[in-house]
Amino acid sequence: MPVKKLSKYKICGEVDSTVTGKLLYLILDELANKSGEVTIPQKKISDALHISKGAVSRNLRRLRDSGYIDVHPQYHNDGGRAANKYIVK
């Protein structure tokens, strides 16, 4: 495997989080566009990983509080909540 492909896993290994938090970081990094942004519902992540939405929320909050991601709430035109936008640092 080329070194370039391993670099993102090395970075993830340095993330000070739970295994679930590291997995979430990798998923967000993989899905993010070139600007590091990704908009995805927490429910979609929890369904894909077969973990609770609470576990997803808790670990995303830890990643945010530790400075690994930024979270920007999104809203529909009618004011209802939409999926958050995550920015991977």
Q: Does residue 2 have a pLDDT over 90? A: no
Q: What is the pTM of this model?
A: 0.84
Contact yes or no for 28/86 (Cβ under 8 A): yes
Tell me, which fold does domain 3-88 have in CATH? Arc Repressor Mutant, subunit A (1.10.10)
23: closest CA among 39, 9, 33, 38?
9
What does the pLDDT look like over 26-71, one tens digit per residue?
999 999 999 999 999 999 999 999 999 999 999 999 999 999 999 9
Task: Tell me how far apart the alpha carbons of residues 62 and 20 are, in angstroms, rounded to a whole number.
Answer: 11
Query: What residues does each domain of the chain span?
Result: 3-88
- Looking at residue 83, its pLDDT comes to 96
